Amino acid sequence: MTHTITAMLDTHPGEPVADKQALAECIDACLRCAQTCTACADACLSEDMVADLRACIRLNADCADICSTTASVLSRQTGGDATVVTAIVQACAAACRACGDECGTHAEMHEHCRVCAEACRACEEACNRLLAALA
């Protein structure tokens, strides 16, 4: 998917808000994390111990929404506000950290939580790399 994202950034007539590679990797990680968190929340709802997974489900839903929104904001290159872009990427990193930590506590019992924790950590890292490029 990064190839398509990079191709779109390359064809945009304006200047990107940050390094194209870091930007493309962050958008890609956000989209992957959003999908993984949505799937993990759904898998948690199918578990027998669903009541014990309420916090995980909530964090999955929040993280998925924040990642999707972050990918959308980062995909729009025309007239972006650097303060807004930085704030949403920071929020995305924080959401990914919280969700990854929560899923990590269930990773030994639920494989979907292990996969989700990995996606969250990868997205948090991509957000942090982009934040460094924005600075």
* Nearest C-alpha neighbor of 39 from the set 108, 132, 114: 114
Other CB atoms within 10 A of residue 42 CB: 12
User: pLDDT by residue (tens digit) across 92-131?
Assistant: 999 999 999 999 999 899 999 999 999 999 999 999 999 9
Domain extent listing, the chain: 2-10+18-134
Mean pLDDT to the nearest integer, 10-19: 69
Q: What is the DSSP string of 15-50?
A: --SS-HHHHHHHHHHHHHHHHHHHHHHHHHHTSTTG
CATH hierarchy code of domain 2-10+18-134: 1.20.1270.360
Q: Quick one: how many helices (H) and strands (E) in the chain?
A: 5, 0
pTM of the model: 0.91
CA–CA dist 58, 41 (Å, integer): 8
CA–CA dist 93, 88 (Å, integer): 9
* Nearest C-alpha neighbor of 123 from the set 70, 82, 61: 70
Q: What is the DSSP string of 95-125?
A: HHHHHHHHHHHHTTT-HHHHHHHHHHHHHHH
User: pLDDT by residue (tens digit) across 56-102?
Assistant: 999 999 999 999 999 999 998 766 788 899 999 999 999 999 999 99
User: pLDDT by residue (tens digit) across 19-47?
Assistant: 788 899 999 999 999 999 999 999 999 99
